[in-house]
Amino acid sequence: MSTIQYPQDNDLRSLVRFCAEKGMIWLDENRMILMHAAAMAALRKELIDALGIDQARRILTRMGYASGARDAELAKKVRSGKCVTDTFVVGPQLHMLEGSVLVTPVSLEMDVEAGRFYGEFLWDNSYEAEVHVGEYGHTDQPVCWMQLGYASGYTSAFMGRFVLFKETECAATGHNQCRIVGKPVEEWPDAAEHTPYYEADSILSHMLELRGQVDALRASLDRSQQPQNLIGSSAGFRHAYTLIEKAAATHVTVLLLGETGVGKERFARALHDTSRRAAAPFVAVNCAALPHELIESELFGVEKGAFTGAHASRAGKFERADGGTLFLDEIGEMPLAAQAKLLRVLQEGEIERLGDERVRKINVRLVAATNVDLQAAVKAGRFRGDLYYRLNVYPVKIPPLRERVADIQPLVEAMLQRFGALHDKRVAGITDKALRALKNYAWPGNIRELENIIERGVILAPQNDWIEIEHLFTEPQDFGSVQHIIDDNGSLTDAECVMENLCLRIVEAGVGLDQLEEALIQHAVKESRGNLAGAARLLRITRPQLNYRLKKKDAAG
Ligand SMILES: [Zn+2]
């Protein structure tokens, strides 16, 4: 069985229906979506970067498995009367129709009743290999995880037993093609290395562990790369910084207020670094990033067996910050139950882990931050009034970037150095025009947004060259220098474009320059009901200039 011919796939093609007016695409009864491969590539990269190769591979394998299993149901339905090989190759044929990969069978031996299966296929044009190489270059391990999951899911559903496919060659490792081989899982001696990617697994514990590592790494990075954490000399900045310096000498609880992206964590860290606690840990927690059911165990710790899934005792952030500073960002998002516990910790100076009777003394300075109006949250019943008063002993408002225009240039210079080093790119600097645009912009996302824009500029500007406006802003309406108007058709368009259209229409209508001037002047005089000063204003000329033109006209007439 070396050459397997695919039957015509018209039966499969006819199952695909595009219903744009309903906003739906169907493959028989399965809803499908037509998605950009680039979007999948971006998702894949996000997964790899956020969760690491193993978790990303597991998620994508399982995604592929689910879609393969769906297609196996379809195969049995559409080719029920056909021979088993023709029915089975619905899988490879759909995989091609769906745009993943070109599949060429090398060998296929199967007996559904006896549970025997051996399949070997060559893959060309693997989309996963393509996007992986595009993002990361060639690798030493096969990377077509989702497609392999599809093959395993399809075959397992078809055979009614777990058939595991392995990629023995992959285009991403430098081969011309990918090669996959599938056998029942029991027949693979090294199955245990592959089956974990098919298993559901709580990634939460991994995430928590990773977050701890990230915190530690970030702490060390911030110290080594930014000895000067805070940059600014504007009045608003200096006022806030003075308050921080004064608080540093004491143990007072500090509440940082300000819009999103103003750098509240940096202020908190500066407070820690200049305090007597500097040698002890600085621990940051974003309350909005934690699921409500996890927030208490994260903050206060958990004792083994406190709830299902608590396999080991774990110290909370309070214990980890002992002797140092705990920064609670977006405290307004904290659920009420956790607020009650937090209040008790602040009052007693001691914590109890979840599921533990023991009370532990802790010595932590709390710095809380919020970008919402906590007083309003208290009124609305979302935030405890007693906790609010405890936190609001020493509020410090960090001004938004638009009130710190004087700081933009020094901030940009520091960012150019940092991102230049990060991306191994030297830029000469930023043009005046671009800097002006930065100063005119309203910065709803504050310093974080400035960082994003400068990073993009560093990437887009040519090596050793200047960053220009178009390297910074993708949408020109983001800053004030281009004017937009609603045109005759109700579309938003810029002023230059309107003038162009107007000229075109005047010339097309055969109107001469003198005629145009006369018509404009008459129009303005009529609009201002004979008031010549008003007419001059409408025409954006001075009254004497208008007089001169009127006289000229009279003389000619
Ligand atoms: Zn591959």
Query: Two tokens at 439?
Result: 């100063």
For residue range 456-476, list pLDDT tens digits in order: 999 998 888 888 888 888 755
**If you ran DSSP here, which 8-state letter would residue 119 be given?**
E
pLDDT at 92: 96
- Mind giving me the DSSP string for 193-241? HHGGGGS----HHHHHHHHHHHHHHHHHHHHHH-SS-----SHHHHHHH
Query: Two tokens at 123?
Result: 């893959």
**Taking 70 as the threshold, does the pLDDT of residue 484 lie above it?**
no
235, 97 contact by CB (below 8 A): no
> Could you tell me the distance, in angstroms and rounded to a whole number, from the CA of residue 61 to the centre of ligand 1?
13
**Taking 70 as the threshold, does the pLDDT of residue 204 lie above it?**
no
Rounded Cα distance, 419 and 11, in Å: 54
The whole-chain average pLDDT of the chain stands at 87
108, 90 contact by CB (below 8 A): no
Query: Two tokens at 430?
Result: 């930023």
> Could you tell me the distance, in angstroms and rounded to a whole number, from the CA of residue 144 to the centre of ligand 1?
4
Tell me, rounded to whole angstroms, the distance of Cα 339 from its chain centroid: 29
**Beta-bridge partner residues of 354:** 302
Among 286, 370, 385, which Cα is nearest to 326's?
A: 286
For residue range 225-245, list pLDDT tens digits in order: 333 568 888 889 999 999 999
Pairing of strands 394-397, 365-370: unpaired
> Could you tell me the distance, in angstroms and rounded to a whole number, from the CA of residue 110 to the centre of ligand 1?
24
Angle value at C-alpha 61, between 59 and 65, nearest 5 degrees: 115
Rounded Cα distance, 454 and 361, in Å: 45
pLDDT (mean) for 112-129:
95
Rounded Cα distance, 328 and 309, in Å: 25
Sheet holding 325-329, edge to edge: 282-286, 325-329, 365-370, 254-257, 394-397
| Residue that the structure tokens 């619905």 belong to | 90
> Could you tell me the distance, in angstroms and rounded to a whole number, from the CA of residue 99 to the centre of ligand 1?
15
> Could you tell me the distance, in angstroms and rounded to a whole number, from the CA of residue 60 to the centre of ligand 1?
13
> Could you tell me the distance, in angstroms and rounded to a whole number, from the CA of residue 52 to the centre of ligand 1?
19
pLDDT at 227: 36
- Mind giving me the DSSP string for 505-544? HHHHTT--HHHHHHHHHHHHHHHTTT-HHHHHHHHTS-HH
Q: Which residue has the higher pLDDT, 9 or 217?
A: 9
For residue range 401-423, list pLDDT tens digits in order: 999 998 999 999 999 989 988 88
> Could you tell me the distance, in angstroms and rounded to a whole number, from the CA of residue 194 to the centre of ligand 1?
15
**Phi/psi zone of residue 269: left (φ > 0), alpha (ψ -120 to 50 degrees), beta?**
alpha
> Could you tell me the distance, in angstroms and rounded to a whole number, from the CA of residue 13 to the centre of ligand 1?
25
Among 419, 426, 413, 369, which Cα is nearest to 392's?
A: 369
3-state secondary structure of 256: strand
> Could you tell me the distance, in angstroms and rounded to a whole number, from the CA of residue 175 to the centre of ligand 1?
9
Rounded Cα distance, 308 and 78, in Å: 45
Nearest 5°: phi and psi at 260?
-65, 140
Rounded Cα distance, 157 and 94, in Å: 15
pLDDT at 463: 82
> Could you tell me the distance, in angstroms and rounded to a whole number, from the CA of residue 185 to the centre of ligand 1?
20
| Count of positions (residues) in the chain | 557
86, 78 contact by CB (below 8 A): no
> Could you tell me the distance, in angstroms and rounded to a whole number, from the CA of residue 18 to the centre of ligand 1?
30
> Could you tell me the distance, in angstroms and rounded to a whole number, from the CA of residue 205 to the centre of ligand 1?
30
> Could you tell me the distance, in angstroms and rounded to a whole number, from the CA of residue 102 to the centre of ligand 1?
11
Among 147, 182, 273, which Cα is nearest to 222's?
A: 273
pLDDT at 275: 92
**If you ran DSSP here, which 8-state letter would residue 301 be given?**
-
pLDDT at 487: 45
For residue range 308-360, list pLDDT tens digits in order: 777 788 889 999 999 999 999 999 999 999 999 999 999 999 998 988 888 99
pLDDT at 481: 39
> Could you tell me the distance, in angstroms and rounded to a whole number, from the CA of residue 129 to the centre of ligand 1?
5
**How many of the other CB atoms lie within 10 Å of CB of 144?**
28
> Could you tell me the distance, in angstroms and rounded to a whole number, from the CA of residue 439 to the centre of ligand 1?
49
pLDDT at 223: 44
Percent of the chain with pLDDT over 70: 90
For residue range 10-38, list pLDDT tens digits in order: 888 888 888 777 788 888 877 888 889 89
Question: Which residues, 6 or more positions from 227, have their beta carbon under 8 angstroms from its beta carbon?
Answer: none
